[in-house]
Amino acid sequence: MIKIVLLAKIILLSIILAFPAKGGELENGITAYQAKEFSKAMEMLVPLANDGIAEAQFYVGMMYDFGKGTIQDDIRASGWYEKAAKQGHARAQFGVARMWDQGEGIPGRMDLSWAWASLAAEQEISEAAKLQRDLEKLMTEQEMKGAIKEADRLRQAYLVPFRN
């Protein structure tokens, strides 16, 4: 956990140092979100999300997911979550897992939900570990084999590169 938190802080710090103005904008957008000023947060975070900043993509995904500051839109939510998830963002990986589980914006698929949840669970997102356990009760042995194989593929593509 400590290594993951330290890595996340290092990544965020490097983003902020590389893009000082954008770092301030990201912080201001998150502050607006936390203050429940969702329209303002959306206005501030969408440009950053479009620039590829994973934390902004995650927050934009949440706002579409829950209809905060915008209309609720599962397709847009899943798209933003996936962009951030592919950059190793743990909470976004759980967001993707949840979307696959519930069939929100994408077809329901337990194997893909389990696979994405495994990445988030490895980064100590407790809700992801719970989702995995719940899915395991519903999946066949064949589905589990496929889910494990997919999790290995996702891990190599979207988790391992962000650990170093």
Split into its structural domains, the chain has a count of 1
User: Global pTM?
Assistant: 0.83
pLDDT digits (tens, 9 = 90+) for 1-35: 555 544 444 444 444 444 444 569 999 999 999 99
Q: Structural domain of residue 19, as residue ranges?
A: 2-162
Q: What are phi and psi of 36, to 5 degrees?
A: 65, 25
Four-point Cα dihedral 82, 83, 89, 95, nearest 10:
-30
With a cut of 50, list the residues of the chain below it in pLDDT: 5-21
Q: What pLDDT shows up at residue 17?
A: 40
Q: What pLDDT shows up at residue 162?
A: 78
C-alpha–C-alpha distance, residues 118 and 64, integer Å? 24
Q: What pLDDT shows up at residue 23?
A: 64
Q: What pLDDT shows up at residue 59?
A: 98
CATH code assigned at 75: 1.25.40.10
Q: What pLDDT shows up at residue 164?
A: 58
